[in-house]
Each structure stands twice: as C-alpha cells, then as structure tokens.
Amino acid sequence: MAKASAKIEICGIVQGVGFRPFVHKRAEEFSLSGKVLNTSSGVSLILEGEKTDIDGFLDGFRDAAPSLALIEDISITLSDTVWGYNGFEISESAEALKRRTLISPDIATCDDCLRELFARDGRRRHFPFINCTNCGPRFTIIRDIPYDRKNTTMESFSMCDACNAEYVDIADRRYHAEPTCCDACGPRLFFLDRNGDELAGDAIKLCESALLRGEIVAIKGLGGVHLACLAEDAALARTLRTRKGRDEKPFAIMCRDLKTAHRFAEISAEEEKLLTSAARPIVLLKKKNRRDFSHISENGYIGIMLPYTPVHHMLFSGGISSLIMTSANISELPIIYKDEEIVKNLGGIADGYLLNNRDIHLPCDDSLVWERGGREYFVRRSRGYVPYPITVKEKLSPILACGAEQKATFALSRENHVFLSQHMGDLKNLETLENFEEQISHFEKIFDISPRAIVSDLHPDYLSTQYAAKRADAPAIPHIRVWHHHAHMASCMADNSLSGKCIGIVWDGVGLSPDGDACGCEFIVGDYKTAHRAGTMLSIPLPGGDRATREVFRTGISLLLAAGVAPTDFFGEESDSVTRLLSSGINCTPASGMGRLFDGVAAILGIKRNVSYEGQAAMLLEAAADESVTQTYPFEIKRENDRYFFDWRKMIRAISEDVRCKTPTEEISAAFMNTLVAFACDMTKLISDDTKLCRVVLSGGSFQNMYILKRLSDALSENGFEVYTHRRTSTNDEGLALGQIMIANEGGGNYVSCNTARNSGN
C-alpha cells in the first residue's frame, strides 16, 4: 500500500464552530496522522497515511462538516512525500492570525441541546442558557477578537469545573464552545413586575402565567428585546398597538411548532424548511384567507417564526401555543438592548419583564424573509445571517460603504468578502446616528479592517452621507458618492456574481439621481463603473412634498389631474385645496418613484387615503389583487433624447373609469400591476434592441412585491432575457451598501453629470 500525504486549505467559517475537533475525529476514523491549524482565511490541514484512507477522508467531507461551518473553498494538494507525523494533532493558532477569521451569526438551539434541555435528568435540564459548539449566541456577544470567552459578554461568568472539563475535551460537543455554561456557573434568568421589582419563583413559570393572564411581557432574547402577548387575542393586540404607538404595521408571531403555524397560514415544504433552519428567520407566509388574523397583519401575509432560544422553547412547553413577538424598540429609535434601558424605556408598555444578566453587546433584529426558489428572499437580513460575509469574485480593497438613510446598513470589504451589517432602522436622528457610528467601529475592530476609501449615497442630506464626508476628512481618504439606483443595481449584480454590462430595473420609493431629480423607476444600462439612465417614468408632482408620502390621497389627486380626470369624484371637496396647490406649483416637487405611483393608485382605489408606514399602500394593493386577472391597461412609452419614459396617463384614465364603473378593486389592482409588468417588459426590449444586452437585474424596495417580482421575472424570461434577482442580500435599501462597495472598488461613482447638474443649480 502506498503512503501519501495531502495538504488541504479550507476557506470559510471554520473556526469557533467545532471544525478542528471534527477534522481530528475524522482523521482518527481513517487512521491518518498529521495536523490541523487555523490560518488567516480558515484552516489548513496535513494528512498522512494510506492513499485510500486519504480518499476516504475527503469523500463526503463537505457534507459531514459541522452544521455551523460554511466552507467556501477547499484546495487539495496530494503528494508522495511523507513527513512522518506521529498521530493527529491540533496546533494552536497565533493570536494575530485569529484576527482574520470569520465570525458566525447567532444560531438557534440545536436538537442535541433541546434533548438535554427537556431530558428527565442531566445537569442542563431546564437550563435556559444551554448551548454548544453547534448553536447559541455568537455575533451578539462578541466584544473583540480573537473569539475567546474573555472577549465576549460571557467573560463575567467563570466556567465551573464540570463545564471546563467539557470545554477542553476534544470528544465533547462543547469543546471550545466559548459561551458554554450551566446552572452552576452561567447567567441567571429573572422576572420583574411592571414596576421593575424582581418576583420570587421560577422566572419561566411567572412569565408564562403573566402571558396567559393576558399581559404584555418584555422578553430579552439574543440580539434584543421582544414585546410578547398571546397571538389570538385581538383586543390584546390592540392594547399593544396603542401602548407602542404602532398603528397598523403587521406584527410577527412565534408559534410553538409547525403544526401550530399551519393554523395561521398556508405553508409549503420549502417554507417549512426555512422556518426550521438554523437561522430561524421570520418567514412571510400567505394566510389561508386574507381577512384572517387582521389584528396581527392587515395584508394577505403573516410573518411567523419558530422558537430559537432555550427560553422560547421553555415558554412554549406549557399552555402557550403562539405569541405576538414584536421587537421592543420605540419607533424612530435604535433597538433597545442594554439592561438599564429596558425597564426605563418600556415602562407603561410592558406589564412584566423576563430578563437575564448576560449582556447583549451587539443588537440584532430577527431576520425577515420570503421563500423563493427554495431559499431566502430577504426583506431583513439580520439574526442568523449577519455577519456571514457576501463572497464576491472580485478582489476588493478595504472600503467602508455607508448605505442610504432608510433601513440603514453599512458594509466593509476585505479581499473577496463584503461584511454587510444588520440594519439599524432609519438614520433620521442623533440616536440612530450614534448607534450607526458605534457599530461601524465595532465591525472595523472585529474584522480588522481600516478602510482606504469611503462611499456614500449622492444625497447630501442623508446623515450617512454627512458621516462619510466627515470620516473622509481626517485622515484624508477618498469619499466616493454613488447614485442610489446604480448602487441597487450593482448590489444585485454582485449578489449574483455578475460582471460586465447589464440592464438594471430598479424600482423603489425615492433616491437622488445624478441629474439631481428624485426618482425611483429606473432602467439603467451599466456595469460597476458606469451607469447610463436609459429609462424612467413621467414624474409626479407631489403636492406638499414629503407630506404626500404619508397623505397619499394627495398623490392620487396629482395623478388624476395629470391624466385629465377631475379628482372631486374620487376625493370630494378635500381635493380642492390640493388642486389649487398643484396649479400654483408651489411645494410640488416632482418625483418619479414607483412607490409614489402605488401610493396614488391605492388612494384612487379607496384602499388607503393616508398611510402610517413606508410601503403600506403598496402592500395593501398587492394583497387586494386577484391573481387570476390577466388584463392590462393602456400605456405609452415615449423617447426623449436617449431616454425612454413610461407615460402612465392613459393607465390612470382607464383606472379612474373602472373605479367609476365599480369594477371590483381586486381586478383593478391586478390589472394595474399587470400594466407595470407589461411596460417594464416593453421598455427592456427597447433598451435591449439599442444595446444588445440580455442580462437583466431587478433591484429596489418595490421588488418586495411578490406579485410583480414573479410576473416580471417570468415575462422577461419568456422574452429571452436572463433575469437576476437578489439571493443573498435584501432588495431594499438594506442591500445597497454592497453595491456601493463594488462601484467604489471599480473606480465608479462621482458621476460627471451629477457635478454638472449641481453646478448649474438644477
């Protein structure tokens, strides 16, 4: 038998996830000697032994790897040289090298831990902080790197002898599990009444009975605090909305198990897989009947998640089967996660508090996804996913991208990785900005990145742009300004590993174009470096400016007037003052966002006159649509210079006729969205005829609309286009920073026409 050796380099998330013990065990199984050590990009191992044993080791290696490991690349060099290792060893890594490793997200309690949690005996029976190498908190407890217990918020809990024995035992599931602990040495759970006084007794039992009594309880979790109450009590949900000041925005619920979840929604096998995945996101699921559970969600979908911490599992082990679980942040303010803030800020909202003394170092919301093609389609990419990097083909210089304003995120790049942050809410005030800055320095520290350039949006008023300008000043580094919609497009390209020229269809609420106008219905021809505005829509004067984004009937009136229809039939006398405002032209900034078109049409249909949160009108309009309708309305595509315009006036006239004839809203909403699909398809064909491009990327917040996403993708594919949508990042502004990095890295941004527009005062 021939002796041989293999040198294997593995890149990805392979540290702090039980990878080395796994390699050790597998080497012993195949009687191989050698060693494994951590490197800057992952782990490196040397195997020595019979050639057939090395083959056996490698066969099925990827599939056998620990569940938390993310193997990005394996390179294997086989040779006949043998060094004569005596057995298999784990070499300790140098601290400096460890700085370069990747950090795992927080992961739902694994099956092994669950079994221990509810076993008849054992030292972790009913221990609410049970975790192991395969599960538990990571990202939210890390204060610094290397990832060792002393650098986490578990530092203050010193391991007892029994825990330590497991921690150093390579054969144990808790080998090098940094947050490992038990009842004797770990954090403590406690229950406070509404005054913040601790109650004696079993905290879980106290919390459970408070919930069953119909109280609202604040529950501290992995990356923040939830407000929880029984899900099926509509009056209770109303109380929660009133106390929290959250008028109409849908809540998410947590269900005991899949069986309970099926009572609330239709769930496919693929959706079940996402619900039970290690990331345990909130999955947006179709209700059986649109009008069911309207106290939880007013539209056709309901967001459901399953328990993901030991505390959740214990809470659901008695008489509770479903809970509304909404993050406890006060609207407009950053997520609440520091203990001292919880009781102070939630007074008057929570009737009780289930807290613990393990600090959350980094706040991180629940992730929110749809299922699409068997995988996540992100609305919010957060817990369970952040900070896994987005891997790209390009080699990236160290860049900091500051995102936009809504759903603020930032990104840092290193080599072929982009570390995209969790979103931090809308960057509109000092509190969120401070939080944003803190998170940036934390990411720079834990990923060991000193940016050599900084990117922001073009919009001068965004706090993120102002932050970028300030940061770029001292020490002086380049500040690159990137067009909002170009960044969306580049983000979707990078998400799909595309390079070269594509057609981008970018639809959202609003962004500032290089021409200086507010837009959000963009057809772009470009790559990472260049962006040509090939198409857009006729803009809509917004009477009262920003006010029209809340009082959407104003936009409805504006659309009708532009289409030559008298608005009084639809909006009564209220329309008079808006009509006067529009004819004066004062404070009627024109905007061309797809979001505004949805607002206006929803208002004309009588679905919503005023909205209480971003995207509400579009969501209700989507929910109303009858999916069997195939009809479209007339529209025109016009060309001016080298740009196409979608002229929606004929469509609005036809819609207003239908409303007058009392055509059901279900049919009009569907026909309206079908028209958008039809015009987008036609405009793409025209642009493709001009440019000979056939790859189309779809990005922007409007593609959270599943009706449009699905139909437009299908229509484009049927016309021979290659269609790409987001897969690893959100389609909304949360994913923007990835695109900003790609553009800055290739020398794009800082558009000439933008400067021209600014200088000429447009």
Which of 74, 82, 160, 199 is close enough to bind Zn ion by CB under 5 A? 160
Residue closer to Fe ion by CB (options 18, 739) is 739
Residue 275 contact partner, candidates Fe ion, Zn ion, none, CB within 5 to 8 A by sort of partner: none
Residue with tokens 């290792």: 85
Least CB distance from residue 196 to Fe ion, whole Å?
41
CB of 754 to Fe ion, least distance (A): 17
Residue 23 burial (10 A CB sphere; 0-12, 13-18, 19+): buried
Least distance between Zn ion and beta carbon 134 (Å): 5
Tell me, what amino acid is at 48?
E
Q: Does 637 bind Zn ion (CB under 5 A)?
A: no
Residue 136 contacts residue 106 (beta carbons within 8 Å): yes
Burial of 232 per CB tally in 10 Å (0-12, 13-18, 19+): middle
Partner from Zn ion, Fe ion, none contacting 160, C-beta within 5 to 8 A by type: Zn ion
Residues 325 and 254: beta-carbon distance below 8 Å = yes
Region at 376 (left for phi over 0; alpha for psi -120 to 50; beta for the rest): beta
Distance of closest approach, residue 487 Cβ to Fe ion, in angstroms: 8
Partner whose binding site includes residue 182, from Zn ion, Fe ion, none (CB under 5 to 8 Å by kind): Zn ion
Using CB under 5 A, which residues numbered 89 to 128 contact Zn ion?
Answer: 110, 113
Nearer to Fe ion, 260 or 729 (CB): 729
- Rounded least distance, CB 386 to Zn ion, Å: 20
From Zn ion, Fe ion, none, interface partner of 96 (C-beta below 5 to 8 A by class): none
Backbone angles phi, psi at 560, to 5 degrees: -60, -45
Give dist(CA 716, CA 243) in Å, integer. 46
Given candidates 4, 45, 154, 163, which one binds Zn ion under the rule CB under 5 A? Answer: 163
Q: How far is the CB of 186 from Zn ion (least distance, A)?
A: 6
Q: Would you give the distance in Å from CA 264 to the centre of its chain?
A: 23
163 binds, among Zn ion, Fe ion, none (CB under 5 to 8 A by kind): Zn ion
The distance of closest approach from Cβ of residue 132 to Zn ion in the complex, given in angstroms and rounded to an integer, is 3
Complex with Fe ion: residue 553 or 703, whichever CB lies closer? 703
Name the nearest CA neighbour of 312 among 117, 33, 506, 181: 117
Query: Cβ 570 to Fe ion, closest distance in Å?
Result: 29
In terms of phi and psi (left: phi > 0; alpha: psi -120 to 50; beta: otherwise), the region of 723 is beta
Scanning 88-96, 133-141, 457-465, 485-493 for contacts with Zn ion by CB under 5 A, the matching segment is 133-141
Contacts of 460 (CB under 8 A, 6+ apart): 466
Cα separation, 327 vs 98, in Å, equals: 34
Taking the CA atoms of the chain, what radius of gyration do you get in angstroms? 27
**Residue 185 interface partner, choices Zn ion, Fe ion, none, CB cut-off 5-8 Å depending on type:** Zn ion
Peptide bond before residue 250 is cis, with ω within 30 degrees of 0: no
736 binding Zn ion? (CB under 5 A):
no
User: Residue 508 touches which of Fe ion, Zn ion, none (CB < 5 to 8 A by kind)?
Assistant: Fe ion
Burial degree of 151 (CB within 10 A; 0-12, 13-18, 19+): middle
**What end-to-end distance do the CA atoms of the chain give, in Å?**
79
Choose between 184 and 234: whose C-beta lies nearer to Zn ion: 184
Name which position in 14, 27, 182, 360 contacts Zn ion (CB under 5 A). 182
Size of the site for Zn ion (CB under 5 A): 10
Q: Does 236 bind Zn ion (CB under 5 A)?
A: no
**Contacting residue, 185, 258, 469, 757, with Zn ion by CB under 5 A:** 185
- Pick between residue 307 and residue 700 the one whose CB is nearest to Fe ion: 700
Q: Is 135 in the site for Zn ion (CB under 5 A)?
A: yes
Return residues touching Fe ion (CB under 5 A): 508, 733
Q: How far is the CB of 422 from Zn ion (least distance, A)?
A: 23
Question: Does 463 sit near Zn ion (CB under 5 A)?
Answer: no
Whose Cβ is closer to Fe ion: residue 43's or residue 518's? 518
Spatial CB neighbours of 36, under 8 Å, sequence gap ≥ 6:
20, 23, 24, 27, 43, 44, 45, 46, 88, 89, 90, 91
Which residues form the interface with Zn ion (CB under 5 A)?
110, 113, 132, 134-135, 160, 163, 182, 184-185
